[in-house]
Amino acid sequence: LSELEALMERMKRLQEDKEDEEASQEEMATRFEKEKKESLLVISGGICAFSKRFAVLFTAFDDEIVSTDVSRYIEDPGFGYKDFARRGEDHLPTFRAQDYTWENHGFSLVNRLYSDIGHLLDEKFRMVYNLTYNTMATHEDVDTTTLRRALFNYVHCMYGIRYDDYDYGEVNQLLERSLKVYIKTVTCYPERTTKRMYDSYWRQFKHSEKVHVNLLLMEARMQAELLYALRAITRHLT
């Protein structure tokens, strides 16, 4: 099977498995912890430490990385993304989305702090999350909800955010390793992103569909950052 056909087959199988039997809460929690720990092993812009067989493929990316001077845009030269936990830790911190959600908590707080900005942000999040042509490359009338949800939730997983009602086994089945490397690079170290990385995943997809992916990744990151910041503000106010 081609990359595209294999992905569509996995989506179909996931839907069938979900209809037959749902995973228990304990099993879903275990799958989240596994995915969260593995996300720390994904190295952006190059080699995936979790699998040596990708080393040769991604080493070539380094040659294309353009040296960008971003110091003019920041006051702290050491400013940048850091993993939310150290590698090797047994108990990684988890932000349970059910305890502090954008819909029930963040939205109202933002509107209190800055009138109407919550409505604008919420509209932006919803628009990008629901954005689809209902296509996958040459296939039409495809429900891409499962795939879009996996992309969004994987970004939040990298930031330690867990949705109790989501089965993170879907992430591992739908997002191959090269795509996970691309996701971490775009969301955590965007200056390291290269065209070769962009071209390396979903090679049969249209550029417009892959642009949708980029938009979804960035909105997921923004929402994750807001959740952490707004939760801290809420705790301070109470």
pLDDT digits (tens, 9 = 90+) for 147-178: 999 999 999 999 999 999 999 999 999 999 98
Please list, residue by residue across 86-99, b when 16 or more beta carbons sit within 10 angstroms of its beta carbon and e when fewer do: eeeeeebebbebee
Alpha-carbon distance of 123 to 223, in angstroms, equals 12
Cα–Cα distance for residue pair 156/124, rounded to 1 Å: 17
Question: Percent of the chain having pLDDT more than 90?
Answer: 62
How much is the pLDDT for 46? 47
pLDDT at 147: 96
Domain count for the chain: 1
Cα separation, 235 vs 35, whole angstroms: 28
**Res 61: pLDDT:** 38
Give the global pTM.
0.85
Q: Tell me the residue length of the chain.
A: 238
**pLDDT the model gives residue 119:** 95
H/E run at residue 153: helix 145-158
Cβ atoms of residues 100 and 235 within 8 Å: no
Residues of the chain where predicted confidence (pLDDT) is lower than 70: 1, 19, 44-71, 73, 77, 84-90
The pLDDT, as a whole number, for residue 107 is 96
Centroid of chain to Cα 178: 13
Q: Which domain holds residue 65?
A: 3-237
Paired tokens of 88: 């090797």
pLDDT in tens, 205-230: 999 999 999 999 999 999 999 999 99
